[in-house]
Chains A and B, each alone.
Chain A
Amino acid sequence: MDAAQQQLQSLTWSDAGYLAPEWILIAFAILLAVLDLFMPQRSGRSIIGWLTLGGLLTSLGFVVWRVLDMANKASDAEAAGQAASVTIRLMADSYRIDYFSSMLKIVFLVATALIVLMSLGTVKRAEIPDKGEFYYLLLPAVVGAMIMASSGDLITLYIGLELLSITTYVLVGMRKHAVQSSEAAFKYVVTGGISSALILFGMSYLYGVTGATNLGAIAQGVQQHAADYPALLYVGFFFILAGLGIKIAAAPFHYWAADVYQGAPTPVTAFLAVVSKGAAFAVIFRIVYNVAFYASSPGKPIADDVFLAVNVLAAAAMLIGSTMALRQFNVKRLIALSGVANAGYMLVPLGLSLKGMHASNFGEFVFYLAVYLLMTIGALSVFSVISKSVGHDEVGGFSGLYYRAPWTAAAMIVFVLSLAGLPVTGGFFGKLFILLGAAQSRLYWIVAIMVVSSVISYYFYFRVIRQMFMRSTIDNEVDVPATSGVVIWLCAIATVVLGIVPGPVLDWIHSHFSIVNDLFIR
């Protein structure tokens, strides 16, 4: 679509129907806010939590229904011999409902639902005074993430980003009486502000060069002007990359993560680690493959440099994340640093570009994101149960867990093995697919760095296992609330299933996702 012809299309009623998942979440958020206001101060707020969960699952249902509908239409079109794209484009392509966004939305909604479920058993009023607020604020946050995944325009993209960021600032500071929490919230606001500033700065350069905000139009503009304004484009891309690098906590933009993860309530830590990170990845994916990919002209290989920068970030994140974790004994900081290393792994398929033989970047990325979701949320819910029992956040809390609560320990082993990338877990295949992809693209140095950093990471992951098996028991009862138990077991079983038969999931992604329809906005 040519930028000059582009007109602002208003949202019609029929279009609005496509946005059902988002509307539902917003409606639930407003209703629950009102409900919270009218509920007596003393009555429990768990009902709000359950309603939040209900809203998330309803929304998830609509997303899944839409995906199935799209799949049906696609196969119908195929049967009729037409090569029709089933992508739904709203408001002049500024909001796209395609497989790319839908798959990510499923990941975000499942993650948030699990997080709400794990909070229901472990979040206590003594810790978080405004429990109602805590639950329904997750809804606008996840809407923000969904908008980021769906947007095909810099404006919608930025709105989604801010919606997600601002709600998470509040969520991080939910433990009002804990100094650590307020400090974390403050740090997160400032770092988040820096991130937004960098992204906006970069966006303004892209707009300046191309005169468009639509990603497709920018891609065309970039293709034309790459030779004329290389410096401006470099500034644009690199600042956006750095701003999003903060959001995904990739080294060297990761410093906030450990402090903020530690200070935030554990469910919010999980949200930051999975949803917030995943949404930022979605944006990087769009920017890199949709725009930067075209920014090349003879002698000015801007695209190659952007891909190289992504690779460098990936390498730095993997190495710095795993070495810094060696000396870390606080579980939440450990998760933060392991999250840095994992951000590095997930950046690898993003940095591979599309070369001849290899085009399954998105499949590798989304598979790993799904596995990362399961193992991180699973590990954090085990941790939240344990830290309740022992009263501190250190790795030592896991000592002798195998003898105190063997089944919970077994689940934790699954998560740790998966994080470390050992079979028979989803983490093994997640890493393996990324490695195979990198090997296929002949990016051997990144393969080597990935293998080295995962060897280093065994050292601190196995510290947890050794604590569970090879330490004598401390006599704290471990009381696993039913809701946490459900989360732990769902995650553990799914992790193992993905570690034995990853085929169907991967096949499904590959058979539906297509680079032309889902990524290239034209």
Chain B
Amino acid sequence: MDTTFSQWAWLIPLFPFAAFLMLLAFGRGQRMLGVTLGAASSFAGLVLSILVLIEHMTDGTAYYQYAFKWLHFGSVTLNAGFEVTNLTAIMLVVVTSVSFLVNVYSAGYMKDDERISVFFSYVALFSFSMLGLVLADNMLTLYIFWELVGVCSFLLVGFWYSKPEAKAAAKKAFIVTRIGDAGLLLGILLLYWYMPDHALDFVRIGNVFEGNTGVIAAGVTTWIAVLIFIGAVGKSGQFPLHVWLPDAMEGPTPISALIHAATMVAAGVYLVARTFDIFQASQTAMDIVAYVGGFTAIFAATIGVAQNDIKRILAYSTVSQLGYMMMALGLNSLTGGIFHLFTHAFFKALLFLGAGSVIHAVHTQNIHEMGGLGSKMRITTWTFAIGALALSGIPPFSGFWSKDMILHTALQEKPFLFVIGVAAAFFTAFYMSRLFFLVFMGKPKGDHAHESPSSMTIPLVVLAVLAVVAGFIQTPWNDTLGTWLTDGAEKAHGGGGLVMVISAAVGLLGLYLGWLVFVKGTIARDAVSSRAPWLVRLLERKYYMDELYEMLLVRPLRGLGLLLNLIDDYVVDGIVRAVGGTAVLFGRGGTRLQSGQIQTYGLVTLLGIVILIAAIVGRRFW
């Protein structure tokens, strides 16, 4: 087993980290430095990642792990290190390639921003954290990078902080994903306690859970899996914690492509895949994953139909596609989930960057204010079309193959989810054709639009090529990825002619319907909204999820804070005033203190003791 390159894999995250440090130290006023360092460091990472991947491709059993003693408490020793498996190798390539292309693209897109080097330093820090997350060999290190990724996302979403929406979105993204992270942390703690020797590294986790040996009780396994899944739900924008992802579109568009399409949001899927043995040991947890994923897929796809902001449509599409990946994992198809992650990373990054190119040209994000860009921005249009076809699942583009695999698995395992998946695929095709036709066809709404500079179009072309070919690594006739990824455990899904036909037909149907409505006009655009305005409203308002959160969580919590302060100010104070007033009545000469508050504190203290004693000791005597 030759691991020449794998043992140097730890360098991959260090390239961007070095770039970050240099930008922090010398970045001020050096506009070109950010571009150069960002691109160079991510390119170095990409080259090494590809070498690592080739090494793993040529030798399917290549594996490298290195760890050193890191923490020591009580009788427990925690190691930290990195591990290169086939799964990590493919993730490394996904992350570094998208990161490199986004760096190049940003050179054009962010050209006029005065804080361009700050931007590149944040991106470098993000790449470092994300690559660290991918390479981590144990849960604790993964969690640390997981949090760092969240902090970087916070900074990048709020990069244009002068927009209040961007600020609010950054906060929302951070707080909402934190809820998920709390679940993940609890899951890790539970795992820590129940694992033999308190081991947290993936190898031993795999050994313990593989084959359901009963080392850890079934109920506990389910809890651990569900808590880890909650972390994944937060990061990967699954229902009901998806609300942050569409808002996060307030960040610069290259960031949406990098973080909110290809890498960070995929971290949740990656986490589930990395701890797949735990999930496989609990059917309940698998079902939860599958149904949450399936529900998210259809839920977000329907919302996407009624949105008017080009990036928000893509964001809901991302949520929905992540739902597909989760569904695949929940249906016991590791290959399906990772395969879709792989293809989605390319075509969704392509779509976001294409959208960025459009926004760059027309300076609006509302698709109704665009139109007829097809003739003016040829490269953007063609590449965007490829991305849209891949997303809609039209053969032979990459999205078709991965979606087909998921749908096929669903049909075999849970036909209900197959129906859901097909319906979501229909909506996907429909909102993409709506988006495409409104933006690129029809009459031009302004005449100043022009093609973007080559630093932006070249990444588009590269991604478009990838969006076409990436699907061929795993087709019904060719099981390369599955065998390689799961060591032959998952067999090819063969046959499936019917599923392929249905999946392609549904995609074409969605596109055709979109064409009828938005180009040909056979069906009036207000066909639905005139008959069922409530339905459109419900979708526009995203099923009122934000309002629901406001009502159920934000307000009660704020209220609690207010209440505690009010109790402090009025109730306790009032009691004291009453007591004090009586005292004053009795002793006319009673001194008046400067502030009424101080008696309050004494009284609260005494009340505290009484309650404490009554509650804890009382139960022993009565």
On A, residues with C-beta under 8 Å from B are 183, 186-187, 190-191, 194, 198, 230-231, 234-235, 238-239, 241-242, 245-246, 252-253, 255-256, 259, 300-301, 305, 308-309, 312-313, 320, 323-327, 357-360, 363, 417, 422-424, 428, 432-433, 435-436, 439-440, 442, 447-448, 451-452, 454-456, 458-459, 462, 466, 469-472, 502-503, 506-507, 510
Contacts and interface: CB of A to CB of B under 8 A. Distances in A.
Contacts of A428: 144, 147
B595 interface: yes
B489 interface: no
Contact of A469 (B74, B155, B178, B611): B155
Contacts of A242: 605, 608-609, 612
Q: Do most interface residues of chain B lie in helix, strand or loop, or is the interface mixed?
A: helix
Contacts of A239: 609
Given A326-B561, A424-B144, A253 B608 contact: yes
A428 B611 CA distance: 33
A360 B147 contact: no
A234 B620 CA distance: 11
A136 B239 CA distance: 60
Contact of A422 (B147, B189, B611): B147
Nearest to A420: B178
Contact of B564 (A186, A324, A442, A452): A324
A353 to B, nearest CB: 15
Interface stretch (B55-63, B169-177, B385-393, B479-487): B169-177
A358 B147 CA distance: 28
B6 interface: no
B616 interface: yes
* Interface residues on chain B, size class: 35 or more
Interface in B574-622: 594-595, 597-598, 600-602, 604-605, 607-609, 611-613, 615-617, 620-621
Contact of A423 (B144, B178, B565, B607): B144
Given A238-B609, A252-B605, A451-B185, A436 B73 contact: yes
A32 B609 CA distance: 42
B561 A323 contact: yes
A325 B73 CA distance: 33
Contacts of B562: 327
B164 to A, nearest CB: 9
Nearest to B69: A503
A458 B173 CA distance: 12
Given A439-B192, A439-B193, A194 B612 contact: no
In the A-B complex, the 9 residue pairs with the smallest Cβ-Cβ separation, listed nearest first, are A470-B161, A252-B608, A326-B561, A423-B144, A255-B601, A439-B189, A242-B609, A327-B561, A323-B561
Nearest to A234: B617
Contacts of A300: 620
A470 B167 contact: yes
A190 B602 contact: yes
Interface in B282-303: none
A360 B74 contact: yes
Contacts of A435: 185, 189
B404 to A, nearest CB: 40
A469 B597 CA distance: 37
A470 B158 contact: yes
Give the one of B148, B162, B179, B189 with max A CB within 10 A.
Answer: B189
B151 interface: yes
A320 B561 CA distance: 8
Nearest to A246: B605
Nearest to A363: B73
Contacts of B551: none
A466 B616 contact: no
15 contacts: A187-B595, A194-B601, A253-B608, A360-B73, A422-B151, A428-B144, A435-B185, A436-B73, A436-B192, A455-B175, A458-B175, A459-B175, A466-B171, A469-B155, A470-B161
B208 interface: no
B568 A255 contact: yes
Nearest to A471: B161
Interface in B118-177: 140, 143-144, 147-148, 151, 154-155, 158, 161-162, 166-167, 170-171, 174-175
Given A252-B604, A440-B193, 7 more contacts: A191-B602, A198-B609, A239-B609, A252-B605, A435-B185, A466-B167, A506-B73
A183 B594 CA distance: 8
A506 B72 contact: yes
Contacts of A447: 186, 189
Interface in B407-451: none
Contacts, number: 162
B548 interface: no
Contact of A510 (B74, B155, B179): B74
A19 to B, nearest CB: 33
Contacts of A235: 613
B557 interface: yes
A455 B192 contact: no
Given A323-B560, A459-B175, A312 B613 contact: no
B45 to A, nearest CB: 20
Contacts of B185: 435, 451
A455 B179 contact: yes
A178 to B, nearest CB: 14
Given A439-B192, A459-B175, A312 B612 contact: yes
B449 to A, nearest CB: 31
Nearest to B190: A439
Interface string B532-561: 000000000000000000000000011011
B24 to A, nearest CB: 8
B73 A433 contact: yes
Nearest to B161: A470
A245 B558 CA distance: 26
B182 interface: yes
Contacts of B609: 198, 238-239, 242
A285 B417 CA distance: 56
B568 A466 contact: no
B265 to A, nearest CB: 20
A305 B601 contact: no
B607 A252 contact: yes
Q: Which of B69, B154, B174, B186 has the most CB of A within 10 A?
A: B186
A234 B602 CA distance: 21
Nearest to B71: A503
A455 B182 contact: yes
B70 interface: yes
Contacts of B182: 451-452, 454-455
B79 to A, nearest CB: 11
Contacts of A234: 613, 617
A305 B154 CA distance: 44
Contacts of B178: 455, 458
A483 B178 CA distance: 37
B35 to A, nearest CB: 21
A305 B608 contact: no
A435 B184 CA distance: 13
B117 to A, nearest CB: 12
Contacts of B594: 183, 186
A506 B76 CA distance: 12
Nearest to B593: A186
Contacts of A238: 609, 612-613, 616-617
Greatest chain A CB density within 10 A among B174, B601, B616 is at: B601
Contacts of B74: 357-360, 440, 510
Contacts of A442: 193
A320 B161 CA distance: 31
Contacts of B71: 502-503, 506
A47 to B, nearest CB: 36
A324 B612 contact: no
Contacts of B189: 435-436, 439, 447
A466 B170 contact: yes
A466 B611 CA distance: 39
Contacts of B167: 466, 470
Contacts of A246: 605
Nearest to A424: B144
